[in-house]
Amino acid sequence: MSEAQDLFAHLRQSADADPAAVDAIEKLVTDGADRQLCRVNPLAFAAKNGLDEERVVAAFLHAARIGIFDISWNVLCPGCGGVLDTNTTLKTVQREEYTCALCATGYSPTLDEMVEVTFTVSPRARKIEAHNPHQLPPMEYFRQIYWGSGVDLPDENYEAIVDSFVLEDVELMPGEKAVLSIQLPPEFIIVFEPVTHSAQFLDVSGEPTRERQSLSLVFDRDHVHSQMLEMRPGPLRIALESRAETRVLPTVFRASEALHGLLGRRRPFLTAKRLLTNQTFRDLYRTDTLDVDQRLKITSLTFLFTDLRGSTELYERVGDLTAFDLVRAHFQVLHEIVAAEAGAVVKTIGDAVMATFPTPDRAIAAALRMREAMRALNDKSGREDLLLKIGVHAGPCIAVSMNERQDYFGQTVNIASRVQNLANAQSIFVTGAVVDDNLTADLLHRKELTPVPHGVSLRGIEREIPVYTIP
């Protein structure tokens, strides 16, 4: 057997690796084109193969853990979808701001939509061209390395589309110089270099000229060239010099409808936020997520807190052994439900659980399933021993590392905990931020549940926060 076959045989032994997903991934590694194995978007892969997203993500995570894929955490430009920085671990996403030269805009990174997680096949499983990215043809470098996996680049006619807005391009090795002579059309022109992330903007307008205009550009990590120059339609001589340590690829773009149309093709991608709230990821990469000093922003994350009512009395009433078995069964059920709804258990505190979900509707779906599961466990025992209180809130937070474990900090977490404290036996309390979510509203409408408002205040929270009960 080849090493790749050995690795896939090992992958199939993973208890929670979905066989259909593993088969599809093995077929990709065996038969896929090289470019299809660079920065794989698992959500697009799931959609293309008609597979469940969560099972596909879990399968890719297991495959990465045993060495079939390498995980990449890429900081994206929200505007053009380009990759501003590539990291082998989230721990190295340390900068407070990233600037996109192509969009001439700076961004403070968030884990919601600015950090994607992709999977590139490991040389152990199969060697591909992108393992040596500086040997890729220029347009393939753009396709495989520069654009993020959320840009839905076409499989067919990609080269023809790119040719329609590229006036000229050139490859420069370290220390090389070149001269480009082009005829400037009366439109907005961008000289963009994707390796050093530098751009020079040319506003070409006015009366055409026959006089040759000149422009000199130097490429290294310190020259970003983002200023605007005004020029007239006509001949232009561009002197190029590379002072970079690697090959550079200066490309002259027409900022045409073809370029904007290509970049406007978007599709869902696996965000860092979603992966951090994935139970499989937390189980496999428990201590390998954030650096102890990191503080990464999340624009919106949903928190669910649970607690058993009267657990102390439960131990007194039924005895330690029976109570322990009941509480352990309750934890197992909650963990299964959280994972099934694309969430992750952050921690347990006594008989309480703190879990996160990428969207409010998944948390509500989990809460409803938890309530029914506790009723089923009580029916099985013939007593009302397990009375679960649930609270849900959504909002901004900060991902941190505490006690060698990935955790979350911020007022949203505090509010979610306070909301859970309001709940009584077998009740679900949620905030307006959860109820107002469109997906949550659709879910509750389908289940014919109408949230009931409560005029309550939360301890330690000055501003008024609407709180509802899910009947």
Q: What is the DSSP string of 49-86?
A: HT--HHHHHHHHHHHHHTTSEEEEEEEE-TTT-BEEEE
Hey, what are 95's tokens?
A: 């900068």
pLDDT for 171-219, tens place per residue? 999 999 999 999 999 999 999 999 999 999 999 999 999 999 999 999 9
Q: Does residue 319 carry a pLDDT above 80? A: no
Nearest to 302 by CA among 116, 433, 145: 433
Hey, what are 21's tokens?
A: 């997903």
Q: Show Cβ contacts of residue 320 under 8 Å, excluding neighbours closer than 6 positions.
A: none
- Comparing 154-163, 228-237, 377-386, 393-402, which segment has the lowest mean pLDDT? 377-386
Q: Please provide the DSSP assignment of 24-43 as one string.
A: HHHHHHHHS-GGGGSSB-HH
Hey, what are 267's tokens?
A: 């599709």
344-349/388-402 β-pairing:
unpaired
* Cβ 343 vs Cβ 357: under 8 Å: yes
Q: 185: which DSSP letter?
A: -
Hey, what are 80's tokens?
A: 């053009």
At 118, the pLDDT band (50, 70, 90 cuts) reads very high
* Tokens 């099934």 sit on residue: 340
Q: What is the pTM of this model?
A: 0.90
CA distance 149 to 143: 9
Residue-level pLDDT at 277: 93
Q: Please provide the DSSP assignment of 220-273 as one string.
A: SSS----SEEEE-SEEEEEEEEE-SSS-B--EEEE--HHHHHHHT-B----BHH
Q: Does residue 399 carry a pLDDT above 70? A: yes
At 382, the pLDDT band (50, 70, 90 cuts) reads confident
What is the average pLDDT value for the chain, to the nearest integer?
91
* Cβ 226 vs Cβ 110: under 8 Å: no
CA distance 217 to 213: 14
* Cβ 210 vs Cβ 235: under 8 Å: yes
At 241, the pLDDT band (50, 70, 90 cuts) reads very high
- Comparing 136-145, 289-298, 350-359, 426-435, which segment has the lowest mean pLDDT? 289-298
Residue-level pLDDT at 311: 64
At 17, the pLDDT band (50, 70, 90 cuts) reads confident
At 327, the pLDDT band (50, 70, 90 cuts) reads confident
Other beta carbons within 10 angstroms of residue 470's beta carbon come to 22
E-assigned strand segments in 88-131: 98-100, 105-107, 115-121
At 405, the pLDDT band (50, 70, 90 cuts) reads confident
Rg (CA), the chain: 27
Residue 118 bridge partners (DSSP): 72
Rounded average pLDDT over 46-58: 96
Cα–Cα distances in angstroms (integers) from residue 402 to residues 27, 357, 409, in the given order: 40, 19, 10
Sheet bearing 188-193, strands edge to edge:
166-169, 251-254, 188-193, 198-204, 228-231
Q: Does residue 385 carry a pLDDT above 90? A: no
Instruction: Using DSSP, state whether 356 is helix, strand or coil.
Output: strand
CA distance 198 to 218: 10
Q: Is 403 left (phi over 0), alpha (psi -120 to 50) or beta?
A: left
